[in-house]
């Protein structure tokens, strides 16, 4: 108990953020409207970013907000708006999937629980919040000295992503028609 009381502030912070994260995840899962799902996901990202902060990774936390919540989710919202998607009509043909998936999900959770229980005693329980080891300077030093190769490769990946995304879209403007001709009225393919 004394340990519990000692850790109470941390526990509270963690608890709040955890509940927030899970709740927003569930909200994303269950929301009918795609925009609501995106917004829930943004909330989830922010709560996880604060968790990162609590865990002593300020750079990653802010990168999470900037990149994930700030760029990626914005991209998602753009696409949602572009496609004008509403909640999809009709009943799914695979309704039984949900139950089966929930089953497997629960199984996965149980397994994670089992794993956690078996390693319960193997880790140091506490650590002080310290940012000494993870300040941006040391991160940058490590990134450019030890991990130069992955860094460069990541930049290549980003380049490829850009080129790929553009080339996928670009064709339409050049040729003036999509790769598979569509009959406007019926939506069927036409030769």
Partner 1 sequence: MLFLESTQINSTFSLVPWAIFLPVMGILINLLVGKRFGERGSGMVASLATGLSFIVSVVLAVALGGHPEAVSVPLVEWISIGSFDVSWAFRVDTLSVTMMLVVSGVGTLIHIYAIGYMHKDVRHNGDPGRYNRFFVFFNLFIVAMLILVTADNYLMLFVGWEGVGLCSYLLIGFWFEKGAEGLGNARAAKKAFVVNRIGDFGLLIAIFTMFWYFGTLTFDGVFEQASALAVISPGVILAITLFMLLGVTGKSAQLPLYLWLPDAMAGPTPVSALIHAATMVTAGVYLIARSAPLFVLAPTAQAVVTWVGALTAIFAAGIALTQYDIKRVLAFSTISQLGYMVAAVGMGAFVAGMFHLVTHAFFKALLFLSAGSVIQGVERGMESGGHGHSEIDPQDMRNMGGLQKRMPVTFWVFLAGALALAGIAPLAGFFSKDEILAAASQQSIMIYVLLAAAAFLTAFYMGRQIFMVFFGKSRSEAAENATESPAVITTPLIILAGLSVLGGVLNLPGVHWLETWLEHTIEYTRPGEFVVWVAALSFVLAVLGIFIAWLIYGKRSIRPETVDPLEQKAGWLFHGLRNHWWLENLYHWLITDVYGERPYGSTADFMADGFDLKVIDRINSAIAQIVRQIGRGLSFLQNGYVRSYALYILAGVVFVFYLLLR
Partner 2 sequence: MIPITYYLILAGILFTIGALGVIARRNAIVVFMSLELMFNAANLVFIAFAAYHKVLFGQIFVFFIMAVAAAEVAVGLAIIVMIFRTKKSINVDEMDALKG
Among 81, 107, 141, 160, contact with partner 1 (rule: CB under 8 A): 107
Among 1, 5, 129, 185, contact with partner 2 (rule: CB under 8 A): 129
| Residue 124 contact, options partner 1, partner 2, none, Cβ 5-8 Å cut-off depending on partner type | partner 2
Site for partner 1 contains 166 (CB under 8 A)? no
Under rule CB under 8 A, which residues in 31-60 are in contact with partner 2?
Answer: 34, 37-38, 41, 44-45, 48, 51-52, 55-57, 59-60
| Residue 63 contact, options partner 1, partner 2, none, Cβ 5-8 Å cut-off depending on partner type | partner 2
Site for partner 2 contains 68 (CB under 8 A)? yes
Please check whether residue 190 is in contact with residue 181, taking contact to mean a CB–CB distance below 8 angstroms. yes
Site for partner 2 contains 26 (CB under 8 A)? yes
Among 7, 75, 97, 158, contact with partner 1 (rule: CB under 8 A): 97
The CA distance from 122 to 131, in Å, is 24
Among 109, 148, 152, 183, contact with partner 2 (rule: CB under 8 A): 109
Among 108, 153, 158, 159, contact with partner 1 (rule: CB under 8 A): 108
| Residue 59 contact, options partner 1, partner 2, none, Cβ 5-8 Å cut-off depending on partner type | partner 2
Please check whether residue 134 is in contact with residue 63, taking contact to mean a CB–CB distance below 8 angstroms. no
Q: Which residues bind partner 1 (CB under 8 A)?
A: 93-94, 97, 100-101, 104-105, 107-108, 111, 114-115, 118
């Amino acid at each position: 108990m004394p340990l519990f009381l000692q850790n109470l502030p941390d526990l509270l912070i963690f608890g709040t953020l955890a509940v927030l994260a899970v709740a927003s995840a569930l909200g994303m899962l269950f929301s009918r409207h795609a925009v609501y799902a995106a917004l829930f996901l943004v909330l989830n990202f922010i709560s996880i970013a604060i968790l990162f902060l609590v865990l002593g990774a300020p750079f990653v936390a802010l990168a999470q907000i900037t990149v994930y919540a700030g760029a990626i989710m914005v991209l998602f919202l753009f696409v949602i708006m572009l496609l004008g998607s509403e909640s999809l009509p009709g009943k799914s043909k695979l309704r039984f999937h949900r139950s089966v998936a929930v089953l497997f999900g629960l199984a996965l959770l149980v397994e994670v629980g089992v794993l956690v229980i078996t390693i319960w005693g193997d880790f140091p329980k506490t650590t002080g919040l310290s940012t000494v080891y993870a300040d941006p300077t040391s991160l940058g030093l490590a990134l450019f000295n030890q991990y130069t190769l992955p860094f460069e490769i990541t930049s290549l990946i980003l380049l490829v992503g850009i080129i790929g995304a553009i080339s996928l879209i670009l064709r339409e403007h050049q040729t003036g028609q999509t790769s598979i001709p569509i009959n406007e009225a019926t939506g069927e393919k036409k030769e």
